[in-house]
C-alpha cells in the first residue's frame, strides 16, 4: 500500500493477500470510512473492513459476469456501503449495474455515475431514485447506448452517443426524490432538460432549486429548456450554486438574480455563459443583497464594460472575497477599473484575471 492511501483517508486497492487484510482490519476502526477500489473478492473486503462504512469505487473494473451474478450481488448488497462511485463505457456492464441498484443497502447515501454508457435512462433514474435514501446524486457525462450506431462510430468514444436527458418519463422520480428526501448535493453534468416535459419542466426546476435541505447544486454544460420561465421569487436555499456552461440568456440570469437576493448562496459560478450588459447589470444590482463570498465569471466575455459594472458595486458587497474573470476579453481599461475597486475593497483576497490578453503589465499592477 502507498503512504497516501493510509492517511488521512484509508484506501484499499486490488487487495488479494489475507495477511494484508488482517493488518488493515487491525486499524480500520480508526477511520469513519474505508474506500475500496477494484476488488471483487467480497470475503476479503469483509475481512479487512469489519463493520466500518464503505465507499465503493467501481472504476471500470467489474470482471465479466461478476456484477450479474445473483449470489455476488446479494452479498454485495449486504455490505455497509454508504458511497458508491461507478463508471463504465460497457453498456452491458452498466445494464447489470443498474439492475443491481435497487438491491443495494438502505445505508447508501451518495451515488456517483460518470463517463458511462447506459441502455435506458428511465431505468437508470428509477433504479437510482425509486426507493432510495440518497442524499447526494451525481451524473457526469452519462450517455445512452444506441443500437443503430455502427461499430466504427461506437468505438470513437462516449461523445458519439446522446447524453442522458430528463424527460416526461423519468422526471417524476426526480421530483419525488427532491421533495421527500433530505437531499444535500446534486451534480448533473451534460444532463439536458427538454421542452417535451411541458408542465413537468417547472415542477422539476421548482423541486430542484427550492429543495430545502440542498447545500450544493452543480448543473453544468447542459441544455436547460424552460429555465427562463422559472419563478425565483423566493431566496435560494443552497450554499453553492454552479450553473456554468449552460448557455444561459439574459432572461434566465435576471430571474436567477431575484432568487439570489437574501439567499444562502455563498459561492456562485456562472462561467462559460455569455453574459451581456443586461445580465451583468442584473447581477451587480443583486450582489449587495447577497451573502456571496466567491464569484466566478470565467469565459463570460464581460469585457471592459462588465468590469466597470463590477468595479462600481464590489466595494458595496460586504461578503465578497474572491472574484474570477479569466478569459473575459478584458483590456487595460477594464483592469484599471478593477484596480480602483481593489483599493476600495481591502477584504477582497483573490482576483483572477488570467487569460485576458489585453491586460498588460500596467493593468495588472
CB 139 within 8 A of CB 164: yes
Strand 165-166 versus strand 110-118 pairing type: unpaired
Please give the residue that has the higher pLDDT: either 185 or 7: 185
Same domain for 215 and 247?
A: no
- Strand partners of residue 74: none
Residues 6 or more apart whose Cβ sits within 8 Å of residue 341: 310, 311, 312, 314, 315, 348
Coil, strand or helix at 53: strand
- CA-CA distances (angstroms) from residue 179 to 120, 175, 184, 284? 24, 6, 12, 32
Q: Which pLDDT score is estimated for 60?
A: 46
Q: Are residues 245 and 292 in the same domain?
A: yes
**Residues 206 and 271 reside in one and the same domain:** no
Residue 340 belongs to some domain of the structure: yes
Going from the C-alpha of 149 to that of each of 88, 120, 146, 155, the distances in angstroms are 18, 15, 6, 10
150 pLDDT more than 60: no
Would you say residue 159 lies in a domain? yes
Same domain, 185 and 248: no
For residue 48, which phi and psi values (nearest 5 degrees)?
-95, -20
Closest to 174 in 3D by CA, of 158, 190, 161, 191: 191
Domain end residue (candidates: 222, 251, 284) = 222
Nine-digit cell string for 114: 460518470
% the chain with pLDDT above 90? 68
Least confident of 66-70, 93-97, 142-146: 66-70
pLDDT tens per residue across span 36-73: 998 888 999 999 999 999 999 985 445 555 555 677 87
DSSP string covering 66-129, please? TTT-HHHHHHHHTS-EEEEEE--S-HHHHHHHHHHGGGS-TT--EEEEEEEEES-HHHHHHHHH
The mean per-residue pLDDT over the stretch 7-16 comes to 90
Mean pLDDT of 166-183: 94
For residue 16, being part of any structural domain is answered with: no
What number of residues does the chain have? 365
Domain count within the chain: 2
pLDDT at 287: 97
- Alpha helices, DSSP H, located in the chain: 18-27, 42-49, 70-77, 91-100, 121-129, 151-154, 171-180, 199-209, 250-260, 277-286, 303-313, 332-344, 361-364
Per-residue pLDDT band at 238 (split at 50, 70, 90): very high
pLDDT score of 365: 44
Q: What is the number of other CB atoms lying within 10 angstroms of the CB of residue 186?
A: 23
Distances (CA, A) of 212 to 184, 200, 216, 238, 264: 9, 19, 11, 8, 11
Q: Is residue 108 part of a domain?
A: yes
Final residue belonging to a domain, choices 186, 202, 222: 222
The share of the chain scoring above pLDDT 70, in percent, equals: 92
Q: Does some domain include residue 57?
A: no
Same domain, 359 and 264: yes
> Which of 193, 222, 251 is the C-terminal boundary of a domain?
222
Q: How much is the pLDDT for 155?
A: 57
Cell numbers at residue 24, please?
488493515
Residue range 176-231, pLDDT digits in tens: 999 999 999 999 999 999 877 677 899 999 999 999 999 999 999 999 999 999 99
Q: Is residue 212 part of a domain?
A: yes
Q: What is the CATH number of the domain that holds 137?
A: 3.80.10
For the chain, the C-alpha Rg in angstroms (whole number) is: 23
Residues 6 or more apart whose Cβ sits within 8 Å of residue 252: 224, 227, 228
pLDDT digits (tens, 9 = 90+) for 323-365: 999 999 999 999 888 888 888 888 899 999 999 986 654 444 4
Same domain, 271 and 319: yes
- Whole-model pTM? 0.91
Round to whole Å and give the CA distance between 295 and 61: 38
Please give the pLDDT value at position 294: 98
**pLDDT given for residue 82 in this prediction:** 96
- For 266, counting Cβ atoms within 10 Å of its Cβ (0-12 exposed, 13-18 middle, 19+ buried), the class is middle
Average pLDDT over residues 25-37: 94
Q: 286 and 250, same structural domain?
A: yes
Co-location of 287 and 342 in the same domain? yes
Q: In terms of domains, do 236 and 348 share one?
A: yes
- Whether residues 243 and 320 share a domain: the answer is yes
Report the DSSP pairing between strands 165-166 and 185-189: unpaired
* Mean per-residue pLDDT over the chain, rounded: 89
> Which of 59-63, 233-237, 308-312 is least confident?
59-63
Number of neighbours of residue 279 by Cβ within 10 angstroms:
25
The CATH number given to whatever domain includes residue 311 is 3.80.10.10
- The pLDDT tens digits of the residues spanning 265-286 come to 999 999 999 999 999 999 999 9
Domain assignment present for residue 65? The answer is: no
- pLDDT of 122 reads 92
Out of 18-32, 60-74, 232-246, 339-353, pick the least confident: 60-74
Provide the domain limits for residue 201. Answer: 85-222
In a domain, 125, yes or no: yes
Q: Hey, CA dihedral for 319, 296, 207, 125, is it positive or negative?
A: negative
162, 280: one domain: no
Lowest mean pLDDT among 44-53, 98-107, 298-307: 98-107
Q: What letter does residue 289 receive in the DSSP assignment?
A: G
Amino acid at each position: 500500500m502507498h503512504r497516501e492511501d493510509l492517511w488521512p483517508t484509508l484506501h484499499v486497492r486490488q487487495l488479494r493477500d489475507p495477511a494484508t487484510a488482517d493488518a488493515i482490519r487491525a486499524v480500520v476502526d480508526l477511520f469513519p470510512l474505508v474506500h475500496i477500489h477494484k476488488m471483487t473478492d467480497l470475503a476479503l473486503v469483509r475481512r479487512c473492513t469489519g463493520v466500518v462504512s464503505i465507499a465503493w469505487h467501481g472504476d471500470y473494473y467489474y470482471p465479466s459476469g461478476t456484477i450479474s451474478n445473483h449470489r455476488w450481488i446479494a452479498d454485495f448488497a449486504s455490505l455497509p456501503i454508504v458511497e458508491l462511485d461507478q463508471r463504465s463505457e460497457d453498456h452491458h456492464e452498466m445494464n447489470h449495474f443498474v439492475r443491481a441498484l435497487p438491491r443495494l443497502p438502505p445505508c447508501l447515501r451518495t451515488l456517483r455515475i460518470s463517463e458511462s454508457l447506459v441502455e435506458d435512462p428511465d431505468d437508470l433514474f428509477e433504479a437510482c431514485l425509486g426507493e432510495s435514501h440518497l442524499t447526494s446524486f451525481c451524473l457526469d457525462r452519462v450517455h445512452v447506448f444506441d443500437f443503430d450506431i455502427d461499430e466504427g462510430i461506437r468505438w470513437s468514444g462516449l461523445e458519439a452517443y446522446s447524453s442522458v436527458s430528463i424527460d416526461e418519463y423519468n422526471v417524476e422520480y426526480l421530483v419525488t426524490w427532491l421533495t421527500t428526501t433530505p437531499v444535500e448535493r446534486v451534480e448533473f453534468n451534460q444532463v439536458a432538460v427538454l421542452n417535451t416535459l411541458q408542465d413537468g419542466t417547472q415542477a422539476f426546476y421548482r423541486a430542484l432549486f427550492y429543495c430545502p435541505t440542498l447545500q450544493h447544486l452543480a448543473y453544468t454544460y447542459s441544455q436547460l429548456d424552460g429555465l427562463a420561465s422559472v419563478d425565483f421569487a423566493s431566496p435560494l436555499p443552497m450554499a453553492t450554486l454552479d450553473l456554468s456552461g449552460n448557455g444561459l440568456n439574459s432572461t434566465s440570469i435576471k430571474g436567477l438574480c431575484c432568487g439570489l437576493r437574501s439567499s444562502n448562496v455563498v459561492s456562485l459560478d456562472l462561467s462559460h455563459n455569455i453574459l451581456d450588459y443586461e445580465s451583468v447589470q442584473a447581477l451587480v444590482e443583486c450582489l449587495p443583497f447577497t451573502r456571496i463570498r466567491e464569484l466566478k465569471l470565467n469565459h463570460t466575455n464581460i469585457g471592459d464594460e462588465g468590469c466597470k459594472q463590477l468595479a462600481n458595486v464590489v466595494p458595496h458587497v460586504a461578503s465578497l472575497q474572491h472574484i474570477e474573470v479569466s478569459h473575459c476579453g478584458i483590456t487595460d481599461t477594464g483592469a484599471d477599473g478593477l484596480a480602483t475597486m481593489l483599493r476600495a475593497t481591502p477584504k477582497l483576497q483573490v482576483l483572477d484575471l488570467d487569460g485576458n490578453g489585453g491586460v498588460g503589465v500596467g493593468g495588472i499592477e
